[in-house]
Amino acid sequence: MTYSIGEFSKIVGLSDHTLRFYEKEGLIKVNRDDNNVRIYSDENKLWIESLLHLKNTGMSLKDMKQFAMWGHVGDETLEDRLALLKNHRKKVVEDFEKLRQSLEHLDNKINYYENEIGDCFSTN
Amino acid sequence: MTYSIGEFSKIVGLSDHTLRFYEKEGLIKVNRDDNNVRIYSDENKLWIESLLHLKNTGMSLKDMKQFAMWGHVGDETLEDRLALLKNHRKKVVEDFEKLRQSLEHLDNKINYYENEIGDCFSTN
DNA sequence: CCTTGACTTAGAGTACACTCTAAGTATTAC
DNA sequence: GTAATACTTAGAGTGTACTCTAAGTCAAGG
């Protein structure tokens, strides 16, 4: 399957502005037809989804750009890419644990508030 | 225990600029001594830590401000505060699950790369 | 007495990641 | 033949959350 930028933007949930912006930044390579119109492929879809996972884990555009650049070069950058991913993973695992703790704190807070309000009503 | 802004900034890991900024924004209330110098208490410490948990879970300054404002008002805002927290919790749980999935994706990617590189060496 | 650390207002600057506009051209679908 | 959708460059604007500077004052400790 192939998609126009309009279709593709709906599928991946990024605006056409953002898709062009990402392309300009070197995050995606997109084919064109005879009229210079972008043709997005399923491969592009997988790649964008991958990028969005990296973005979701807090990777900066700068690092995603580096990763994409290396990807475009070829196999001699495999180790660089792996190093980047492993390094990134460390941070993500830390962030994940921090988020887990903060969620726990939030739950405790909610519990506390529910008791407060319960008490408040019981004293009426 | 009480702390000067210099001591406190080291303890909570926020710059004095940021502490004054948060105060100006209404996120913290801080006592002053006779010379108008800020005196941070352990209560302030607990409050800041609480705020940082909210921040950590992606709450905006705007919402933290609202929460703090309600906190300063008194018991009649308990339900508003609880509603805000519960509403926020929903988002956090979603974010947490998304992060978990993205971390899983990252792990798969790393595995893939490690196999690629393994293959690459084994063909030498 | 002078360094250190605190205080004030008000506003400027930074970084990130978009997000949009202008102003023009080109192609396809009804 | 016109509406919709696409294309270009180049730059301006937005929102968030800081982060810092200027320019001055003030008080305590060695």
pLDDT, position A117? 83
Beta carbons within 10 angstroms of residue B124's beta carbon: 4
Q: What is the distance in angstroms measured between the alpha-carbon CA of A35 and the sugar C1' of C21?
A: 24
- Confidence check: pLDDT of B123 > 60: no
DSSP reduced 3-state for A1:
coil
Q: If you measure CA to C1', which residue is closest to nucleotide C4?
A: B6
Contact A106 B85 (CB under 8 A): yes
pLDDT tens digits for B35-92? Answer: 999 999 999 999 999 999 999 999 999 999 999 999 999 899 999 999 999 999 999 9
pLDDT tens digits for A18-42? Answer: 999 999 999 999 999 999 999 999 9
pLDDT tens digits for A65-78? Answer: 999 999 999 899 99
A30, A21 contact by CB (below 8 A): no
Instruction: Name the CATH architecture for the domain at B2-122.
Output: Orthogonal Bundle (1.10)
Contact A89 B110 (CB under 8 A): yes
Tokens 């899983």 sit on residue:
B104
Cβ neighbours of B77 in A, within 8 Å: none
Domains of chain A: which residue ranges?
Answer: 2-122
Chain C nucleotides close to protein (CB under 7 A) are 5-9, 16-21, 26-28
A33, A49 contact by CB (below 8 A): no
For A5-89, list the strands marked E by DSSP.
31-32, 38-41
d(CA B90, CA B70): 20
∠ CA A76-A77-A83, rounded to 5°: 135
CB under 8 Å, gap of 24 or more: what pairs does B108-115 form? B109/A50, B109/A85, B110/A82, B110/A85, B110/A86, B110/A89, B113/A78, B113/A81, B113/A82, B113/A85, B114/A82
Q: CA of A34 to nearest chain B CA: how many angstroms apart?
A: 35
- Confidence check: pLDDT of A124 > 50: no
d(CA B50, CA B44): 10
pLDDT tens digits for B11-39? Answer: 999 999 999 999 999 999 999 999 999 99
Tell me the Cα Rg of chain A.
Answer: 22
pLDDT, position A118? 77
